[in-house]
A and B are shown apart, each in its own frame.
Chain A
């Protein structure tokens, strides 16, 4: 019983520490576009992946975007184990 309770307490603690935030990265004077492209990088225990790319260029290529209007970055994490960073590019 004690074991189960302690595991539940740990699980609850990790739930509380997981979160998602979306922050602005940049905006341009180009018209707000209808296209969207995303690029994602995942890190486990803070280590960089062997081949990660969540740059603006990668995200724009994914959406076929040639004129960028604005860029947001979404970060999702379960501290300290897992972090997922997504760059979202909007434009035409």
Chain B
């Protein structure tokens, strides 16, 4: 019985390790250059009951990076989206909402922003993790970020992907 438990435990750990090793981005060729699509990543929420999953689309021939995020919270009247890491900051009220949907007790809003490429690349040069802040009219400010260990890994992957794409 103990052996069986140990085996099940080892298999579970192994599956989660392998699952986490799956590719983080994909590369495509386009007329405007190379497109690197970073698969959705869930950030840790600093408030209970809210979540943020975001993905990025980096095209070498363009001067901005597409950042799409699914923001799940009790309210959906988003006013401002802010991205910051270290000394770099990008704040915008110029965003598009693709859709809003009821998700259990929350409302999921799919937000689209364009982040200038130089600022975006500066985020991933910073030692401090990226923080995404979403301000809504009805609810308090929602903050999401990477865990320090995940940030180190994510930074390295994004750097590698961008260098390979150029």
A residues within 8 Å of B by Cβ?
Answer: 3, 7, 10-11, 14-15, 18, 20, 32, 34-38, 40, 61-64, 76, 78, 81-82, 84, 86, 88, 90
B residues within 8 Å of A by Cβ?
Answer: 3, 6-7, 10-11, 14-15, 18-19, 22-23, 26, 28, 30, 32, 35, 37, 39-40, 55, 57, 59, 66, 68, 70, 96, 98-99, 110, 112
Q: Can you show 23 pairs from A to B with CB atoms below 8 A apart?
A: A3-B3, A7-B10, A14-B18, A15-B18, A34-B30, A34-B35, A35-B66, A36-B37, A37-B68, A40-B40, A61-B99, A62-B55, A64-B96, A64-B112, A76-B19, A78-B14, A78-B18, A81-B11, A82-B15, A82-B19, A84-B22, A86-B39, A90-B28
The residues of B that contact A15 with a CB separation of less than 8 Å are 14, 18
Assess the A38–B19 pair: CB atoms within 8 A. Answer: no
The residues of A that contact B18 with a CB separation of less than 8 Å are 14-15, 18, 78
Assess the A38–B110 pair: CB atoms within 8 A. Answer: no
The residues of B that contact A7 with a CB separation of less than 8 Å are 6-7, 10
Which of B30, B57, B68, B99 contacts A32 (CB under 8 A)? B30
Q: How many A-B residue pairs have CB under 8 A?
A: 67
User: Which residue of chain A is the closest to B21 with respect to CB atoms?
Assistant: A18
The residues of A that contact B6 with a CB separation of less than 8 Å are 3, 7
Shortest beta-carbon distance, A24 to chain B, in Å?
13
Assess the B11–A14 pair: CB atoms within 8 A. Answer: yes
Assess the A10–B7 pair: CB atoms within 8 A. Answer: yes
User: Which residue of chain B is the closest to A82 with respect to CB atoms?
Assistant: B15
Complex formed: what's the CA distance from A40 to B98 in Å?
Answer: 18
Interface centre among B7, B14, B112 (most CB of A within 10 A): B14
Assess the A88–B26 pair: CB atoms within 8 A. Answer: yes
The residues of B that contact A63 with a CB separation of less than 8 Å are 68
Shortest beta-carbon distance, B76 to chain A, in Å?
15
Complex formed: what's the CA distance from A35 to B96 in Å?
Answer: 14
